[in-house]
Amino acid sequence: MNISLLIIFIFLCLALYLGIQAKQGKKMNMEQWAVGGRGFGTLFIFLLIAGEVYTTFTFLGGSGWAYSKGAAAYYVPSYIFLAYVLSYWLAPKIWRYAKDNKLLSQPDFFATKYRSPYLGVLVAIVGCLALVPNIIIQFKGLGIIVSQSSYGAISQTAASCIGALVVTIYVMVSGIHGSAWTSVIKDFMILIVVVFLGLYIPFHYFGGIQPMFEAVHHVKPELLTLPDQGLSTSWFISTVLLNAIGFYIMPTSFMVVLTAKGEKAIRKNAILLPLYTILLLFVFFIGYAAVVQIPGLQGGEGDLSLLKLATQTFDPWIVGFIGAAGLLTALVPASVMLMSTSIGLTQNLYKVIVPSATERQLSFTSKGFILLLSAISLYFTVNGSDALAILNIMSYGLIIQLAPALFFSFVKNNFVNKYGAFAGIIAGELMVLYMTVTKKTIGTLLPYASRAIQDINTGYIALLVNIIVMVVVSLVTKNIKINETKPENPRLVLHESKNE
């Protein structure tokens, strides 16, 4: 075992220890296990939401996009900044309603808002389809990071398997508490590693950040501006707006909001988190430096630019710390993804099928779902699948189809009913599937439109179809009698929020 792999292994053991120890002194009922007893303050909310930003996709893909796409990579911090602004208004409303109605999951929220357990089933399935590919990305990214930073001392497959085992164990034992405590060490490591790399590498190779950009301009000037077509200005603006809307609709972000002990903690994070997101710029600096120092990386190889530059620049023990930070960027997000998916399936699929299930049975089922989801994700991490690749492309588009029903649910006199919400989501999901499989874009649908129109993010088409179907079906079915005093399923005990 070389020094790099030894350092990574030490941090893996530390993460496992912190994840298991997190349950100490807590009675692990479903509320405590799933949402931390709704007792997380500003710091833990900060770290868990930040965990959604600094994933393996960011660690590898952020520098990779800067390497291969250039200025287009700036859409990532831009949409995250805007998402935090929106969360100042949106997240407290979600938290308040969930607390008043004792909800544990995102599907719970939709099922209760629209008085339909079957809408909850649909949302749980959508969340599962969207998050499993992301869990696989974390496991696969973990394998790449550990294998590369250990100089091949361990294979990608072995690293992915060990990482998946660790995260599965501590999530089953400590639930969201395990994610919260491992996020402490993860964000500490990311802060040190990203800032160090983002400053050291430009100064080491170029004498500063400005000289680095001048060198990139000399080699590939096109990387420093948005192109006139494709990833153009209209693509950039439309993508930033679309992703900002979807950020807190992701089941993971939604679940973290439910763990807060109060609205004040959520609003503080909406103010503070944009500052932390600025660290992404340091990741981009590394990608830009690699353009000059490691030319010729093609396609997906660009995602390896950070690790290749690190192994070329530093001694093995420093590379070990970089690999450990990368390892943690996989463990924390994967743990929250496993949690949110398993809770949604338990509360809104299993509990609909078995409405008389006891809390002990629900707890056992949730942990069973975690084991199952982890095993499925690991299988596809190792073997891959064309169908999975399609799901991965679709994942964000699938989740954002929940946005119209969510936003309408906060309207005081909401005319959208459960039929409209259900039909709209289904229509939107089918359109996402059609557009993905056929590779249709606004450009192919409107070939004679201006370039600015053609480059608008395709996700808006599915959203438009979703909203039209939702409104039409709601108006057509508005005279259908809906029991407003008693839920359709005895498991849903509704308590209307006094603040709604």
- Kindly state the percentage of the chain with pLDDT values over 90: 62
Q: pLDDT-derived band of residue 55, with 50, 70 and 90 as boundaries?
A: confident
The pLDDT assigned to 436 comes to: 87
pLDDT of 391 above 60: no
Per the DSSP assignment, residues forming a β-bridge with 40 are: 260
Q: Are residues 444 and 364 in the same domain?
A: no
Mean per-residue pLDDT, 135-157: 91
Q: Are residues 203 and 164 in the same domain?
A: yes
pLDDT of 52 above 80: no
Q: Are residues 275 and 327 in the same domain?
A: yes
488 located within any domain: no
Q: Are residues 344 and 391 in the same domain?
A: yes
- Non-local CB neighbours of 4 within 8 Å, separated by 6+ positions: 149, 150, 151, 153, 316, 317, 319, 320, 323
Task: Identify which of 240, 300, 254, 249 has the alpha carbon closest to the alpha carbon of residue 459.
Answer: 240
Q: Are residues 444 and 392 in the same domain?
A: no
Q: Are residues 127 and 212 in the same domain?
A: yes
Q: Are residues 407 and 296 in the same domain?
A: no
Question: Contact 63/297 with Cβ under 8 angstroms?
Answer: no
For the ranges 25-39, 306-320, 395-409, 463-477, the lowest mean pLDDT is seen at 25-39
500 located within any domain: no
Q: Are residues 140 and 220 in the same domain?
A: yes
Mean per-residue pLDDT, 237-259: 90
281 located within any domain: yes
Whole-model pTM?
A: 0.89
486 located within any domain: no
- Kindly state the percentage of the chain with pLDDT values over 70: 94
Domain count, the chain: 2
- Could you read off the pLDDT of 87-140 as tens digits, one per residue? 999 999 999 999 999 999 999 999 999 999 999 999 999 999 989 888 998 898
Q: pLDDT-derived band of residue 288, with 50, 70 and 90 as boundaries?
A: very high
498 located within any domain: no
Mean per-residue pLDDT, 395-409: 92
Instruction: Looking at mean pLDDT, say which of 228-232, 370-374, 435-439 comes out highest.
Output: 370-374
State which of 396, 420, 443 marks the end of a domain: 396
Mean per-residue pLDDT, 465-493: 72
pLDDT of 387 above 60: no
The pLDDT assigned to 378 comes to: 93
CA atoms of 332 and 115, how far apart (whole Å): 33
Task: Identify the domain containing residue 440 by its residue range.
Answer: 401-479
493 located within any domain: no
pLDDT of 490 above 50: no
Question: Where residue 201 sits, what CATH number does that domain have?
Answer: 1.20.1730.10
Q: Are residues 170 and 226 in the same domain?
A: yes
